[in-house]
């Protein structure tokens, strides 16, 4: 385990987070799977990580809870000895038009999506600073750049991630810690699978490449940004959207 890098990935139990975990595992990276669900929900991912030959452990944590994130980060360092990579992927939606959006809808989305990133950065960076090495990638969204009706809370949280990322890049660059964001467009998930063919065709018209992205497209972008090939890249927002927002 000492020879491998260690990645803490939030929201890694399923979906994009799980794919990021599996993609980094293929690069001989040990994985701390952080998720709010029970471990049983992420067991398939944990089994796949074990089959990939890396060390993987599960940590149940609400990333919006400042104290809980600190306790989780401290435990991960105790278990793995270090954290080289932080991927802020955990996020939720609570879509409504502003006229219908409740305060609780706003607060919960901002708390998990944006404050959750701050909490993790706050608690992980002291360990990275001591090692004078770190790679931080946060998952934003193209709607954080272009806005989207019915997603004021989600768009604001994802725009906030971009501002946070640029600030982290400036504050920690001198310690060989890079911070970048990945902004997905429409990605093929269980949610998009449930759309009607008419709805899908309307989406395709917005995308120059004419198709939805896949979770592996996001994972490969993260893999690049945490690699040595990206050592001189920090503070950027890498759009992975098929050209949807140009």
Catalytic residues: 154
Residue 89 labelled as part of a binding site = yes
Where do we find the tokens 């911070």? 179
* Residue 187 labeled ligand binder: yes
Sign of the dihedral through C-alpha 82, 88, 89, 91: positive
Joined tokens for residue 108: 């919960």
C-alpha 92/C-alpha 180 separation (Å) is: 20
Q: For residue 154, say whether it is annotated as part of any ligand binding site.
A: yes
| Number of alpha carbons in the 13 Å side-chain half-sphere of residue 199 | 7
The reply to whether 12 sits in an annotated binding site is yes
Residue with tokens 């080289």: 84
Does 223 appear as a known binding residue?
A: no
- Helix H or strand E encompassing 222: helix 215-225
181 marked ligand binding residue? no
Helix and strand counts by DSSP (H, E) for the chain: 10, 7
Cβ atoms of residues 56 and 50 within 8 Å: yes
Strands 177-184 and 134-139: parallel
Q: Residue 212 has which token pair?
A: 């939805």
Q: Which two tokens stand for residue 37?
A: 């669900």
Task: Please tell me whether 204 is known to bind a ligand.
Answer: no
Q: Is 152 annotated as a binding residue?
A: no
User: Under a CB-based contact definition with an 8 Å cutoff, are residues 195 and 148 in contact?
Assistant: no
Annotated binding site: 11-14, 89, 154-158, 187
Annotated binding site for NADP(+): 11-14, 89, 154-158, 187
């Amino acid at each position: 385990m000492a020879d491998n890098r260690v990645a803490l990935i939030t929201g890694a139990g399923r979906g994009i987070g799980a794919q990021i975990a599996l993609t980094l595992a293929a690069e001989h990276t040990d994985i701390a799977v952080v998720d709010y669900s029970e471990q049983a929900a992420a067991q398939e991912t944990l089994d796949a990580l074990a089959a990939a030959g890396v060390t993987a452990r599960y940590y149940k944590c609400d990333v919006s809870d400042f104290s809980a994130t600190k306790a989780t980060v401290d435990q991960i360092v105790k278990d793995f000895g270090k954290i080289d990579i932080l991927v802020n992927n955990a996020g939720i939606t609570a879509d409504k038009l502003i006229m219908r959006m409740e305060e609780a809808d706003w607060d919960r989305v901002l708390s998990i999506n944006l404050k959750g990133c701050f909490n993790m950065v706050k608690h992980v960076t002291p360990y990275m600073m001591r090692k004078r090495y770190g790679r931080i990638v946060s998952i934003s969204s193209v709607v954080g750049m272009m806005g989207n009706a019915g997603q004021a809370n989600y768009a604001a949280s994802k725009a906030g991630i971009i501002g946070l990322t640029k600030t982290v890049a400036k504050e920690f660059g001198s310690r060989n810690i890079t911070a970048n964001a990945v902004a997905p467009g429409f990605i093929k998930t269980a949610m998009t699978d449930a759309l009607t063919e008419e709805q899908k065709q309307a989406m395709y018209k917005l995308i120059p490449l004419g198709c939805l992205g896949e979770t592996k497209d996001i994972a490969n972008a993260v893999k690049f940004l945490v690699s040595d090939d990206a050592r001189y890249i920090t503070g950027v927002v890498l759009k992975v959207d098929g050209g949807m927002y140009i």
